Amino acid sequence: MARPTQVTVSLSAFRHNLGRARQLAPNSKVWAVVKADAYGHGLMMLAPALAKADGLALVEFEWARQLRESGWDRPILMLEGAFDYADVQAAAADGLELVVHEAKQIEWIERFGGAARLRVHLKLNTGMNRLGFHPAGFHDAWRRLRSLAQVSSITLMTHFANADVAGGASRAIERFDEVTAGLEGERSLCNSAALFDYEGAHRNWVRPGIMLYGASPFADRSADSLGLRPVMRFESRLISTQHLAVGDAVGYGSSFVADRPMVIGIVACGYADGYPRHAPTGTPIAVSGVRTRTVGRVSMDMLAVDLGPVPDARIGSAVELWGERVAVDDVAASAGTIGYELTCAIAPRVARVLQDDDG
Ligand SMILES: *Cc1c(COP(=O)(O)O)cnc(C)c1O
């Protein structure tokens, strides 16, 4: 029998979340952000549910090529733009839209004299200080691109550093509006967090990522309370049980010691599957549909759970690491990280199953 560690990806949940994005921004077009193999969910597996997006946004040129080969003929946006001159040629050949965040990228586009028409997204740095033109150089960059016959459209964009905290994007939106005033072109500002909280910034295109996968962009609001449904269910089974006496320890380093007689279960899932090693004793997990907690250190291929709340659990009982009973965000919070990192970290050895529950 195959090792029972698997990820199930629900197309209906993804469709629901995409519908939620549309409901929040009914007058905007939606770039579904699918970088990092669709946040670890499997880009090609999700393909049937992507059809309802207006465009797909990612950073990997190989995957953009694959999308074209698989028949995706609608817009594709490269969020980090070209990494070298050859990428500009690839973008023209495959009809990929390019973020332009750096003068070097404008030079490559200038050098590319080709007849093909390039759609570019000129990025303004509104305070993240990661990518994008400083306000002082933005108009120059726009004029340079505008003068090129090979550039057919310039969308004006920015990305927020703090849209996930109350009021955190207000100043960046003001700055964006000041700097872009009078420049023609579509606008694109919002990630998932901003989509929920900054209706005035929705503009022509929104760029939701995490919300489409049913996780929360906010530390203090659950995905459920935002009307989102989890797309990923990470599951395994119990492969052993142990009876502990008072004073017995569990796992490497004996970090957990029983203070009463207890039964624990051993789950066939560890950090080599993508479960966070930093998740401490007490991290939520479900066995046979009942929420309980992990105990002891997570090892490479296994972790341990307290079976106190699940007296009927046996070898073979189903375990949900995260998904429906246990939100990925709750596991992330316990491990000191965010849901994004956990879904992205699912390891290649984990089997992937598609659940196409509404055709
Ligand atoms: C990743 C990314 C997004 C999506 O962000 P979420 O927080 O996942 O919604 C949007 N815009 C850009 C430029 C990104 O890099």
* 196 confidence band (pLDDT: 50, 70, 90): very high
For the Cβ of 79 lying below 6 angstroms from any atom of ligand 1, the answer is yes
- What's the gap in Å between 189 CA and the centre of ligand 1? 10
Segment 115-143 mean pLDDT: 95
Name every residue whose Cβ is closer than 8 Å to that of residue 118 and which is 6 or more positions away in sequence. Answer: 88, 91, 92, 97, 98, 109, 112, 150, 151, 152
Q: Distance (Å, rounded) from C-alpha 118 to C-alpha 92? A: 6
The residue written with tokens 């849209």 in the block is 163
Q: Is 5 exposed, middle or buried (0-12, 13-18, 19+ CB in 10 A)?
A: buried
Name every residue whose Cβ is closer than 8 Å to that of residue 40 and which is 6 or more positions away in sequence. Answer: 232, 274, 343, 344, 345, 346
User: What residues does each domain of the chain span?
Assistant: 11-215, 232-355
Q: Compute how many other C-beta atoms are within 10 angstroms of the C-beta atom of residue 107.
A: 13
How far separated are the first and last CA of the chain, in Å rounded? 29
E strands of 115-159, at which residues?
118-124, 151-158
Q: What is the structure's pLDDT at 358?
A: 67
For the Cβ of 159 lying below 6 angstroms from any atom of ligand 1, the answer is yes
The residue written with tokens 């919070």 in the block is 333
Residue 105 has pLDDT above 60, yes or no: yes
For the Cβ of 214 lying below 6 angstroms from any atom of ligand 1, the answer is no
Q: What is the structure's pLDDT at 117?
A: 86
Catalytic residue IDs = 35, 252
Ligand 1: atom nearest CA of 31 is 10
Residue 258 has pLDDT above 80, yes or no: yes
- What's the gap in Å between 193 CA and the centre of ligand 1? 9
Percent of the chain beyond pLDDT 90? 97
Per-residue pLDDT tens over the stretch 13-50: 999 999 999 999 999 999 999 999 999 999 999 999 99
For the Cβ of 343 lying below 6 angstroms from any atom of ligand 1, the answer is no
Ligand 1: atom nearest CA of 159 is 13
Residue 200 has pLDDT above 70, yes or no: yes
Per-residue pLDDT tens over the stretch 302-322: 999 999 999 999 999 999 999
Percent of the chain beyond pLDDT 70? 99
- CATH classification number, 232-355, choose in 3.40.640.10, 2.40.160.40, 2.20.25.10, 2.40.37.10: 2.40.37.10
Stretch (H or E) spanning 140:
helix 135-146
Per-residue pLDDT tens over the stretch 323-352: 999 999 999 999 999 999 999 999 999 999
The residue written with tokens 């659940």 in the block is 355
For the Cβ of 30 lying below 6 angstroms from any atom of ligand 1, the answer is no
- What's the gap in Å between 116 CA and the centre of ligand 1? 28
Per-residue pLDDT tens over the stretch 143-192: 999 999 999 999 999 999 999 999 999 999 999 999 999 999 999 999 99
Indicate the CATH number for domain 11-215. 3.20.20.10
- What's the gap in Å between 207 CA and the centre of ligand 1? 6
For the Cβ of 191 lying below 6 angstroms from any atom of ligand 1, the answer is yes
DSSP state of 193: H
Ligand 1: atom nearest CA of 163 is 7
Per-residue pLDDT tens over the stretch 210-242: 999 999 999 999 999 999 999 999 999 999 999
Of 46, 16, 24, 23, the C-alpha closest to 34 is 46
Pocket test for ligand 1, best of 24, 78, 79, 344 (most atoms within 8 A of CB): 79
DSSP state of 279: P
Stretch (H or E) spanning 305:
strand 303-306
For the Cβ of 123 lying below 6 angstroms from any atom of ligand 1, the answer is no
Task: State the chain's mean pLDDT as an integer.
Answer: 97
- What's the gap in Å between 338 CA and the centre of ligand 1? 14
Residue 266 CA: distances (Å) to CA of 237, 243, 298, 316: 8, 11, 11, 10
Q: What is the structure's pLDDT at 359?
A: 47
Q: What is the structure's pLDDT at 114?
A: 75
Q: What is the structure's pLDDT at 182?
A: 95
